[in-house]
Structure 1
Amino acid sequence: MTQKSVLVLVGSLRAASTNRQLAEAAIDLAPEGIDLAISDQHRDLPLYNEDIDVEGELPASVVAFREAVGAADAVLVVTPEHNGTMPANLKNAIDWSSRPFGTGAIVGKPVAVIGTAFGQYGGVWAQDEARKALGIAGAKVVEPTLSVPNSVVRFAETHPKDDAEIVAQLEEFINAFAASLDAVDAEQQAA
């Protein structure tokens, strides 16, 4: 496997969110050849508005975010569930990265979605909505997933990196994600 840079977008904006902690644990567990790095650039994006999505007049935050997504080999989205769906900031990031239509930074980019949530299903609705939006935006959504339920209780006093069960699940996810990236590379080389 060649070195892969993976941009990690955390849907929760709280500094100590359990999803940020899950992302940090994934970074710690990444195998050689996978470089995961959390980006907070989506926090500064204005709400998507076609009136301001004008080449040469784009807000600096949009230009920087699109460049970061474009430069990454893949994207990992780590999302909580807000009212049964993904947080607005994450949807906004997907919208900005999908433009210009058909050539946006996310188009053709391998993306995986994982997360943790307070509920008993671990935020699967939010993850499904994120995958749907990403796929429509043109991303190459890959299969490996991970949903961790009961986050507020489970991680009340334990960081995910100190939870043996979560570490095992994250390692399994990251290895499957790495294999998916290799498969995408093989598809692209064969095309």
Structure 2
Amino acid sequence: MTDLDILGISGSLRGGSLNTALLRAAQKHAPAGVTIDLYDGLAGLPYYDGDLDTEEALPAQVRALRERIHAADGVLFATPEYNYSIPGGLKNLIDWASRPSATSSLLHKPVAIMGAAPTNFGTVRAQLALRQVFVWTHSDVVVKPEVMAFRAHERFDEAGNLVDDDTIKLVTSLVDALADKIRTAAK
């Protein structure tokens, strides 16, 4: 198989997001032949509205999102945890991307999940909630390794670079596992 293109999607809107920094670390430490392109349109997506989900009315930014996910070989999600679950903006993105269900950009798409949080429990519950959503979309989720960067503020330097060797190894292993899943699905 040729080089792999993975779309990285952060569920955080913050400029200094540790989840976006986690995706940048995945870009930096991706194996040869794997490119991770970061999606930056989360803030521009309108709330999901079935009345707009028609060929004539579909917002341009939604069409672009669906096209980018379709074009990607796989998707790497980095999610924070808000109120024991995934942030509303990320759920909204998935609601748009998962329709129409018969031709969804997420249908059978290889995906991987990771997350960073300042707490001791990390993003455990958010990742579980996201995995549940991906059951409905019929996405092909990487099961292991699980990357839950707890006390994440201690794992990055002031410039937002991941400096914790154990977390770097986990992120690298997750990207490797996603690449393996993509290659297996292509056979």
1:102 and 1:138 in contact (8 A); partners too: no
- In structure 2, give the amino acid aligned to 1:163: D
Secondary structure of 2:56 counterpart: coil
Write out aligned runs for 1:81-92 (5 A).
Answer: 81-92=81-92
Decide whether aligned partners of structure 1 residues 170 and 50 sit closer, same or farther in structure 2, where only a CA change above 3 A counts: same
Q: How does 1:97-116 map to 2 (within 5 A)?
A: 97-116=97-116
Q: Which residue of 2 aligns with 1:33?
A: 33
Q: Are the counterparts in 1 of residues 118 and 152 from structure 2 also a CA contact under 8 Å?
A: yes
Please give the alpha-carbon distance, in whole angstroms, between the structure 2 residues aligned to 1:155 and 1:142.
25
Aligned sequence identity (%): 37
Count of equivalent residues:
186
Structure 2: distance between partners of 1:93 and 1:76: 14
- Using the size of structure 2 for normalisation, the TM-score is 0.92
Instruction: Note the residue ranges of structure 2 that are not aligned, 5 or more in a row.
Output: none
RMSD: 1.6
Question: Could you tell me which residue of structure 1 aligns to residue 174 of structure 2?
Answer: 173
SS in 2 for 1:46: coil
User: 1:20 maps to which residue?
Assistant: 20
User: Any unmatched runs of 5+ in structure 1?
Assistant: 187-191
1:89-148 residue CA offsets vs partner (Å, 9 max, x unmatched) = 110111101101221111111111111112222201101111211221222222233111
After superposition, what is the alpha-carbon deviation per residue over 1:11-65, rounded to whole angstroms, capped at 9, x for unaligned?
Answer: 0111111111111010000111111011012321111111111112111111111
Partner of 1:135: 135
2:52 matched residue in structure 1: 52
2-structure distance, mates of 1:30, 1:159? 17
